[in-house]
Chain A
Amino acid sequence: MINAVLVFNNSGQPRLTKFYTQLDTSVQQRLISEIFTLVSQRPASACNFLPLPPLLASSPSSADTQAGPGPIHNDTPSLVTYRHYATLYFIMISTSTESPLALLDLIQVFVEALDRLFENVCELDLIFNFETLHATLAEMVVGGVVIETGLETVVKGVKEQGKVPRRVETGGAAMSRLGVGRFG
């Protein structure tokens, strides 16, 4: 299952945090900053899988010492997948029951859905409409389980909940488009 979905920008400011377990706010913040330190050090050419941040690395190491196929299937988060779009990082933390490559595609679907909803989505849209951001995610992942991967269905589901507010046109660095097509 997916344990957490995070979005933050190039300077580590969170734009979306969704933890599928109840966590203390301080632990959440520590995790975000640990992942940001990891992710910000990676060149663009590097692969999209992160080593586990120190906060999460403690228990899998003990799981590794288990013999047999045990460590492959357990509840501990073992995968940190990320994608970088323009100014934003999208991160998914998941257990080994998820496929790493499929998660990358899921992030892509998520961003494409946002792009449809906001028409050329940029960081500013997500700041001012972060409720829509949450709603979009809720159409795709519920309780850590992926329920929908179809772009159309996700967009339709969000639109059914009400009108997506239009963007206030202002300038600034946050306006740079996420450029969905880059990875597509």
Chain B
Amino acid sequence: MITMLIIKTDLKATALLKLIYLEMFGHDMSWASFHVLEVMSSPKYIQKRVGYLGAVQSFRPDTEVLMLATNLLKKDISSALPPTISLPLVTLPHVITSSLALSLLSDLLPRLSHSKPAIRKKTVVALYRLALVYPDTLRPAWPKIKDLLMNEQEDSSVTAAVINVVCELGWRRPKDFLPLAPRLFDLLVDGGNNWMAIKIIKLFATLTPLEPRLIKKLLPPLTTLIRTTPAMSLLYECINGIIQGGILEGTEGVREGEEIASLCVGKLRGMIMVEDDPNLRYVALLTFKRIVTSHAHLVSNHQDAILSCIDDPDISIRLQALDLGASMVNSENLTAVVERLMRQLKNAPPSVDATENTRHNSEGVEPAADSDGEDPGETLKPIKGSLNDAPPLPAEYRISIMRRILDMCSRETYTNISDFEWYIDTLVQLVKLVPPTNQNSSNKGSSTSAEAEKDISSEIGLELQNVAVRVSTVREEAVSAAASLIAVDGSESTFQNLNAGGQGVLQSAIWIVGEYAHFVSDPSTTLSHAIHPKVRYLASPILSTYLQAIPKIMISITSHDHTPWTSERNSMTSLLLARITHFLEPLTTHPNLEVQERCVEFLELMRVAAQAVTNHDTTYSTQGPLLLTRAIPSLYTGDELKPVAPTAQEKVPLPDNLDLDIPINENLASILQRADLDDDLTDTESSEFDTFYNVRPSRKTAIAVAGPAIETLPSAEPEPLSYQQTEGTASLDPEALSRKRLERRIRNKDDPFYIPSEDNNNNVSGASTPFHDILRSTNGEDVDVDSIPIMNLDLGDQQQSPPETSDPEPRALALSKRKKAPKKHHVVALDENLDLDIPQLASTSRTASPAPPLRAAKATRRNPLQVDSSSLGAFSLNGEGDDGEPGRSDEAEDKEMAKALAEVERLRMEMQRASERVVVPEGTLVKKKKKRRKGRDVLGGDGAGNEEVELVAGGGQVEVGVRGGEAGEAEAEVEAVGVGEGAGGEFKKKKKKKKKREIVLETGEEIT
């Protein structure tokens, strides 16, 4: 029978081993957790090991059978065989829960003095992991661990393991570890173990900020280590420790300080330059990044070394170098850094997705030996001088370089830029280097990268726009750059390949060209680029900006008065208008409503203008038609656009008589209700919507009919919703139409804004609207030009005057922050803002607003691999309460707590009896209590000390209680556990927590 059983578990163990292997490939084995437990309890070591491995690999926080394993774990921890003891020690860190920790603690502690060092060090680590879920572990365990550390006879590997654990604990509460400093120092100086030295240095880096005297003590040994050690890892960590420990700051100004700083930087440079090891280069750059925030001048001395890494074959090194380069730019080296990056972008071949994929596949399938055969040539080759076979750059990397360039240049409103012509040129070149968008690969999730690409080109555009607006001295250059960008043909064209990236820049470019059209050197060419048929196929937001810019450019051609308005010019203008009309016409049916609306509006304007030109008689005057020379320009001229600070809106004072709480329409609710009820109306409306959105308007009825607007203008009655005539109105018989028209004319006779027509087929307009007045006056009739109100605007000045002198006010503003440039003096306009003094409002809103989402994000996001040790932060290791909190010795409180705990204990015992077959005998409980006291004695030493321990615990608890949250929970639990003990089930634990929380709240009140 027994042999049968053994054979069965043997089989089971083998099966389990296979299951564990499959689990590694992602097969769920949670169903087998009970079998795992069964194999764990096997008497055979080989089988037991399989069981424990299964527990490590497959148990999850919700695995419930673990509760049943408590006694098994206790038994194995107390086993006489070292390998058997190791199993639970190694397994516990993976499966530990606070209740398990509570019951196993007493069994683990004696293992710290096991004769085998291997067991001792594993126990130390297991206790550390226990402390993470159950911080009170440290109360009895820490003194023992400390003893292990202090004992100079201890096995060195145990000491190293303890150091590792202390290093993990150390950064949470560095204060508690200051007393260890002398021992740590000794270990560092004559330890002789590099692994341990690295950890000690890391630990010291957290201690030095608390104890500045340590710096003086540490400096000599660290300097010696840096000078002498052959181990690169130790050297690196020494330098790192010096930086992180604030030793550089601590010794600022002292001779040794400067010495050590330059020594560190020198060694780092050595790691970058001399060693042909990408790892060293990478970590050296990381360290440089940390120094650069405090010692920028030291780092910029080694600019050459860092910049050489920008061309490193390894992308991650490049990115680090890029980061570093970006953070150390100043006005002197900006050009050099940017030029270098630009060269890299230009020289590296773009990576093609397809080839990259095949390369990876082949790498995956081929044996590594083969790929090694290809590599040596690559690795041995020096990085420089092989620009032709520079590694292909992935699109993401290119984009990040471009972003970096933009960031560097635009930092602090262009403080670093002295040469804006160069910057504009750089921007134009960047546009050409934007990686192409590959539509064909959108099926494999590159849609996000395509978006990013679109982003970068429009970012470049915005930069260009920003420069054009802010720096008036280079506006002309910016405009010509923009004009070159929108050119349809030519070397700089973005239209060469419609798939190429950089389309996003067009929106800004065309805006600049339109806004500053008077700077355009060759407006007619520019205009012909803007109305090129290809433009029609651009994305609709870009297209609508185009539409807005076209009339502006046109005006700059027609309104200038350099040449007299001869008949030649007249016909030229009429031709121009015809071309624009021709461009606009097809767009009136564009699917995008924004485009459609703008197009229809401008088309009308163009038609009216064309009419004016046709009717213009050049024999009487050398003046152009007033509509073109004065009226339309007035639409686009006015105050110059200035950058406005994002906070300006907040500073606009609220008018006194404005009450935002008054409803605009008090009957809104009832109106809405009525609208809901009115079924008939919605029916007709919906059918109108249907025709509008779904029925394609036919060419004939659409506005494309050549002729003045009046013909197709919808009546003032609100019947058709569309800009076009719908099929319904078109089907009206001509008689009815003309009758309607007559009615309309009579009704609108006195409306100055209504432009009626004389006749259906007559192009001559006869009503007296301001526009038509102008038209008529330009035809030679004696109309007093000045009496037309629209002409009173003085436009010429604004247009012709140089922009620098036109705005003295912002200039004075800008003077405060301007940059002296050797070559040329540029004034960068700052954001305009209201000078009302509400600084608190502005500053608080600016600083406070980003904070809450950040905190929220921190609270919700939790890294999957993260081990939460936050509960340790509130736990004091020292008996001498260094919290500075007043202790409380409230006997009533203690009594209350004791009562609560007794209740909990009673419930627990009841539960245990009911649910578990194993009943914990009373004897063990008593024994444990004794042990617990012993632990306290060790901590405190005598009676007084003992009391102090309690006080400290109380203090810590109050603090946490006020803070609340997760730490509070853990701490509350800790305190409860500090007095009561025994195996814990889920339910009892909760009970305790609840009780405890009440007490915590009370104490909190007391203190405040």
* Given A148-B157, A162-B45, A75 contacting B165 (CB threshold 8 A): no
Find out whether the CB atom of A13 lies under 8 angstroms from the CB atom of B865: no
Q: Is B118 located at the chain interface by the 8 A CB criterion?
A: yes
Q: Which of B95, B369, B869 contacts A75 (CB 8 A)?
A: B869
Q: Is B43 located at the chain interface by the 8 A CB criterion?
A: no
Bound complex: CA of A66 vs CA of B204, how far in Å? 22
* Given A47-B281, A48-B279, A56 contacting B83 (CB threshold 8 A): no
Q: Is B314 located at the chain interface by the 8 A CB criterion?
A: yes
Find out whether the CB atom of B854 lies under 8 angstroms from the CB atom of A47: no
Find out whether the CB atom of B167 lies under 8 angstroms from the CB atom of A147: no
Find out whether the CB atom of A176 lies under 8 angstroms from the CB atom of B368: yes
- Please choose the segment from B86-94, B496-504, B796-804, B975-983 that sits at the chain A interface, where 4 or more of its residues have CB less than 8 A away: B86-94
Bound complex: CA of A77 vs CA of B866, how far in Å? 6
Find out whether the CB atom of A153 lies under 8 angstroms from the CB atom of B867: no
List residues of B (222-236) whose CB comes within 8 Å of A's CBs: 232-233, 236
Q: Which of A22, A139, A148, A149 contacts B60 (CB 8 A)?
A: A22
* B 161-185 binary contact with A (CB < 8 Å = 1; else 0): 1001101100100000000000000
List residues of B (849-892) whose CB comes within 8 Å of A's CBs: 854, 857-858, 861-870
Q: Smallest Cβ distance from A135 to chain B, in angstroms? A: 7
Find out whether the CB atom of A10 lies under 8 angstroms from the CB atom of B363: yes
- Please choose the segment from B22-30, B478-486, B628-636, B805-813 that sits at the chain A interface, where 4 or more of its residues have CB less than 8 A away: B22-30
Q: Which of A84, A97, A148 contacts B168 (CB 8 A)?
A: A97
* Given A49-B279, A87-B367, A101 contacting B232 (CB threshold 8 A): yes
Find out whether the CB atom of B160 lies under 8 angstroms from the CB atom of A149: yes
- Please choose the segment from B100-108, B119-127, B700-708, B937-945 that sits at the chain A interface, where 4 or more of its residues have CB less than 8 A away: B119-127
By a CB distance below 8 angstroms, the chain B residues around A47 are 278-279, 281-282, 314, 316-317
Q: Which of B26, B367, B375 contacts A176 (CB 8 A)?
A: B367
Q: Is A131 located at the chain interface by the 8 A CB criterion?
A: yes
Q: Is B908 located at the chain interface by the 8 A CB criterion?
A: no
Bound complex: CA of A119 vs CA of B126, how far in Å? 31
Bound complex: CA of A4 vs CA of B23, how far in Å? 16
By a CB distance below 8 angstroms, the chain A residues around B26 are 25-26, 28-29
By a CB distance below 8 angstroms, the chain B residues around A13 are 25
Q: Is A170 located at the chain interface by the 8 A CB criterion?
A: no
Find out whether the CB atom of A99 lies under 8 angstroms from the CB atom of B237: yes
Q: Is A168 located at the chain interface by the 8 A CB criterion?
A: no
By a CB distance below 8 angstroms, the chain B residues around A49 are 279, 282-283, 316
* A 15-58 binary contact with B (CB < 8 Å = 1; else 0): 11111111111111101000000001111111111110001101
Q: Which of A16, A73, A77, A86 contacts B865 (CB 8 A)?
A: A77
Bound complex: CA of A118 vs CA of B320, how far in Å? 39
Range of interface residues on chain A? 35 or more
Using CB atoms, name the residue of chain B closest to A19. Answer: B865
List residues of B (10-55) whose CB comes within 8 Å of A's CBs: 17, 21, 23-28, 45-46, 49-50, 53
Bound complex: CA of A33 vs CA of B161, how far in Å? 32
Find out whether the CB atom of A162 lies under 8 angstroms from the CB atom of B864: no
* Given A16-B24, A44-B372, A143-B129, A97 contacting B171 (CB threshold 8 A): yes
By a CB distance below 8 angstroms, the chain A residues around B164 are 145-147
Find out whether the CB atom of B171 lies under 8 angstroms from the CB atom of A62: no
Bound complex: CA of A41 vs CA of B371, how far in Å? 13
Q: Which of A58, A72, A73 contacts B863 (CB 8 A)?
A: A58
Bound complex: CA of A97 vs CA of B59, how far in Å? 27
Bound complex: CA of A18 vs CA of B126, how far in Å? 16
Find out whether the CB atom of B316 lies under 8 angstroms from the CB atom of A21: no
Q: Smallest Cβ distance from B320 to chain A, in angstroms? A: 9
Bound complex: CA of A13 vs CA of B372, how far in Å? 20
Q: Which of B161, B278, B368 contacts A145 (CB 8 A)?
A: B161
Q: Is B61 located at the chain interface by the 8 A CB criterion?
A: yes
Find out whether the CB atom of B866 lies under 8 angstroms from the CB atom of A101: no
By a CB distance below 8 angstroms, the chain A residues around B124 are 147
Q: Smallest Cβ distance from B78 to chain A, in angstroms? A: 19
* A 60-92 binary contact with B (CB < 8 Å = 1; else 0): 101101000100110111000000101100000
By a CB distance below 8 angstroms, the chain B residues around A148 are 118, 121, 157, 160-161
By a CB distance below 8 angstroms, the chain A residues around B90 are 138, 142-143
* Given A97-B171, A145-B164, A147-B161, A176 contacting B862 (CB threshold 8 A): no
By a CB distance below 8 angstroms, the chain A residues around B349 are none
By a CB distance below 8 angstroms, the chain A residues around B27 are 25
Q: Smallest Cβ distance from A3 to chain B, in angstroms? A: 4
Q: Is A111 located at the chain interface by the 8 A CB criterion?
A: no
Bound complex: CA of A143 vs CA of B92, how far in Å? 8
By a CB distance below 8 angstroms, the chain A residues around B866 are 3, 21, 59, 75-77
Find out whether the CB atom of B93 lies under 8 angstroms from the CB atom of A20: yes
* Given A4-B865, A21-B866, A40-B363, A87 contacting B314 (CB threshold 8 A): no
Bound complex: CA of A29 vs CA of B864, how far in Å? 12
Q: Is B186 located at the chain interface by the 8 A CB criterion?
A: no
Find out whether the CB atom of B375 lies under 8 angstroms from the CB atom of A142: no
Q: Is A166 located at the chain interface by the 8 A CB criterion?
A: no
Find out whether the CB atom of B121 lies under 8 angstroms from the CB atom of A147: yes
Bound complex: CA of A48 vs CA of B908, how far in Å? 52
Bound complex: CA of A41 vs CA of B86, how far in Å? 39
Q: Smallest Cβ distance from A62 to chain B, in angstroms? A: 5
Find out whether the CB atom of B867 lies under 8 angstroms from the CB atom of A21: yes
Using CB atoms, name the residue of chain B closest to A4. Answer: B865
* B 283-305 binary contact with A (CB < 8 Å = 1; else 0): 10000000000000000000000
Q: Smallest Cβ distance from B524 to chain A, in angstroms? A: 51
* B 232-275 binary contact with A (CB < 8 Å = 1; else 0): 11001100100010000000000000000000000000000000
Q: Is B360 located at the chain interface by the 8 A CB criterion?
A: yes
List residues of B (343-393) whose CB comes within 8 Å of A's CBs: 360, 363-365, 367-369, 371-372, 375, 378-379, 391
* A 84-123 binary contact with B (CB < 8 Å = 1; else 0): 1011000001000101111011000000000000000000
* Given A43-B378, A45-B314, A131-B49, A97 contacting B202 (CB threshold 8 A): yes
List residues of B (976-1007) whose CB comes within 8 Å of A's CBs: none
Q: Is B198 located at the chain interface by the 8 A CB criterion?
A: yes
By a CB distance below 8 angstroms, the chain A residues around B371 are 44
By a CB distance below 8 angstroms, the chain A residues around B157 are 147-150, 153
List residues of A (145-169) whose CB comes within 8 Å of B's CBs: 145-150, 153, 157, 160-162
Find out whether the CB atom of B278 lies under 8 angstroms from the CB atom of A44: no
Q: Is B900 located at the chain interface by the 8 A CB criterion?
A: no
Q: Which of B24, B28, B94, B278 contacts A46 (CB 8 A)?
A: B278
Bound complex: CA of A160 vs CA of B368, how far in Å? 34
By a CB distance below 8 angstroms, the chain A residues around B25 are 13-14, 29
Bound complex: CA of A4 vs CA of B25, how far in Å? 16
Bound complex: CA of A77 vs CA of B862, how far in Å? 11
* Given A44-B372, A99-B233, A131 contacting B53 (CB threshold 8 A): yes
* Given A97-B202, A101-B232, A101-B283, A45 contacting B313 (CB threshold 8 A): yes
Bound complex: CA of A73 vs CA of B364, how far in Å? 36
* Given A51-B316, A97-B168, A100-B283, A23 contacting B236 (CB threshold 8 A): no
Q: Would you give 27 A-B contacts (Cβ < 8 Å), ordered by A?
A: A10-B364, A11-B365, A21-B867, A23-B864, A25-B28, A26-B26, A40-B360, A41-B360, A45-B378, A46-B314, A47-B314, A51-B316, A59-B862, A59-B866, A73-B206, A75-B869, A97-B168, A99-B233, A99-B236, A101-B283, A105-B195, A131-B49, A131-B53, A143-B125, A146-B160, A150-B157, A162-B46
Q: Which 9 A-B pairs have the closest CB atoms?
A: A143-B93, A101-B233, A47-B278, A3-B865, A29-B26, A73-B171, A46-B314, A47-B282, A143-B129
Interface residues of B (CB under 8 A from A): 17, 21, 23-28, 45-46, 49-50, 53, 56-57, 59-61, 82-83, 86, 89-90, 92-95, 118, 121-122, 124-126, 128-129, 157, 160-161, 164-165, 167-168, 171, 194-195, 198, 202, 206, 232-233, 236-237, 240, 244, 278-283, 313-317, 319, 360, 363-365, 367-369, 371-372, 375, 378-379, 391, 854, 857-858, 861-870
Interface contacts beyond A45-B313, A161-B83: sample of 11 additional A-B pairs, CB < 8 Å, sorted by A: A15-B24, A43-B314, A51-B319, A59-B866, A65-B854, A138-B86, A142-B125, A142-B126, A144-B129, A153-B118, A161-B86
